[in-house]
C-alpha cells in the first residue's frame, strides 16, 4: 500500500465543501492547503510505488474565465508556475474535472441547470461550443485527463471512485488498461519521463511550438520552473525558436495566474 492514502482537500472556496462529502462516503480525508490543485491523493502505482495525483476542479463559468485570461498557462505573482505548468510539475497524474453540463444549441454553448438550458454567465458574448471543446482537446494533449461532471455531488462521487480505483487492488491487477500507461508510470522518475513532462508544458505555452520545438525546449531548460520563468533571450537559445515566437512564449509564460 502507499505511504498514506488520505485525500487532501484544499480548504479554500471551490473545494473546501468536498471534505464532508468524502467523509460521509467513508473516504479518509482532511483539509490541507495545496500549492496546486483542489484535491490531492496518493495511489498504488507499479510494484506498490506511491503515485501522486492531483485534481483541479473548474465550474463551467470559471473554465470560460480561464480561457479568456489564459491563467491556466503562465506565472503567478510570486514567481511560481501557473496552474497547468504547476500541476504537471507537481503531480504524476493530473485530472481536470469540469463541473456543469455543457450542451450545444445551434453551435452555441449552453449550461444545463434545473432542467433548463442557460447561456454561460461568464463574459458578455455568446460562447461557441466548438471553441471550448477545442480548448479542452488542447488541454488533453498536455497529458491532463479531462473529466466531465454534472454537479458538486457528482464531482465528489467521481473523485471518490478515482480514490477507490487507485487504492483498491494492486496496479498490475487492473487488466482492462493497455500497457502504455503502466510503462509511463513505471519510468516516471527517470530522466526520460521528466523530459517528456517538460515537453508537455512547452507545447502548451503556444500553438506555434509544435513537438519538435517542444522537444528542443525540454532539452534546453533544466526544469519546468526554469522554462516558465525564461526571458525572451533565453527562449531564443532554443533550437527553432525565433525572435517573434520567443517574445510570445515569454509573454505567455508571464501572464498572471
pLDDT given for residue 191 in this prediction: 37
Asked if residue 2 belongs to a domain, the reply is no
What are all long-range contacts of 220-224, with beta carbons under 8 Å and residues at least 24 apart? 223/89, 223/198, 224/81, 224/85, 224/88, 224/89, 224/197, 224/198
The model's pLDDT over 156-204, given as tens digits with 9 standing for 90+, comes to 999 999 999 999 888 777 765 444 444 444 444 333 334 455 666 676 6
Are 81 and 127 within one domain? yes
User: How many domains in the chain?
Assistant: 2
Residue 86 lies in a domain: yes
Whether residue 202 is found in the same domain as residue 245: yes
Query: For residue 252, is it left (φ>0), alpha (ψ between -120 and 50) or beta?
Result: alpha
143 and 215 part of one domain: no
Q: What is the pTM of this model?
A: 0.68
pLDDT in the model for residue 253: 63
Answer with the one of 146, 173, 200 that is the final residue of a domain. 173
Q: Which domain holds residue 117?
A: 7-173
Residue in the block written with cell 454553448: 109
Task: Let me know if residue 96 belongs to a domain.
Answer: yes
Question: Do residue 58 and residue 89 come from a single domain?
Answer: yes
Sheet holding 29-31, edge to edge: 29-31, 7-9, 39-44, 50-59, 93-99, 145-149
- Low-confidence spans in the chain with pLDDT less than 50: 1-4, 177-195, 256-257
Residues 221 and 142 in one domain: no
Shared domain for 83 and 21, answered yes or no, is yes
Amino acid at each position: 500500500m502507499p505511504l498514506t492514502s488520505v485525500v487532501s482537500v484544499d480548504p479554500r472556496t471551490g473545494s473546501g465543501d468536498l471534505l464532508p462529502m468524502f467523509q460521509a462516503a467513508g473516504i479518509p480525508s482532511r483539509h490541507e492547503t495545496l500549492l496546486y490543485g483542489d484535491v490531492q491523493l496518493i495511489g498504488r502505482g507499479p510494484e506498490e510505488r506511491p503515485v501522486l495525483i492531483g485534481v483541479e476542479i473548474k465550474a463551467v463559468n470559471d473554465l470560460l474565465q480561464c480561457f479568456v485570461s489564459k491563467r491556466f498557462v503562465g506565472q503567478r505573482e510570486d514567481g511560481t508556475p501557473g496552474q497547468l505548468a504547476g500541476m504537471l510539475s507537481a503531480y504524476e497524474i493530473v485530472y481536470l474535472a469540469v463541473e456543469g453540463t455543457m450542451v450545444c444549441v445551434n453551435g452555441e454553448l449552453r449550461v444545463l441547470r434545473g432542467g433548463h438550458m442557460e447561456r454561460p454567465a461568464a463574459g458578455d458574448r455568446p460562447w461557441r461550443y466548438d471553441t471550448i471543446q477545442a480548448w479542452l482537446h488542447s488541454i488533453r494533449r498536455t497529458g491532463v485527463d479531462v473529466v466531465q461532471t454534472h454537479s458538486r455531488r457528482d464531482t465528489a462521487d467521481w473523485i471518490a471512485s478515482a480514490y477507490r480505483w487507485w487504492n483498491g487492488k494492486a496496479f498490475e491487477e487492473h487488466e482492462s488498461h493497455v500497457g502504455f500507461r503502466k510503462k509511463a508510470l513505471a519510468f516516471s522518475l527517470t530522466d526520460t519521463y521528466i523530459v517528456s513532462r517538460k515537453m508537455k508544458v512547452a507545447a502548451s505555452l503556444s500553438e506555434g511550438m509544435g513537438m519538435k520545438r517542444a522537444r528542443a525546449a525540454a532539452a534546453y531548460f533544466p526544469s519546468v520552473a526554469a522554462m516558465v520563468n525564461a526571458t525572451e533571450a533565453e527562449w531564443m537559445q532554443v533550437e527553432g525558436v525565433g525572435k517573434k515566437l520567443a517574445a510570445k512564449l515569454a509573454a505567455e509564460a508571464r501572464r498572471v495566474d
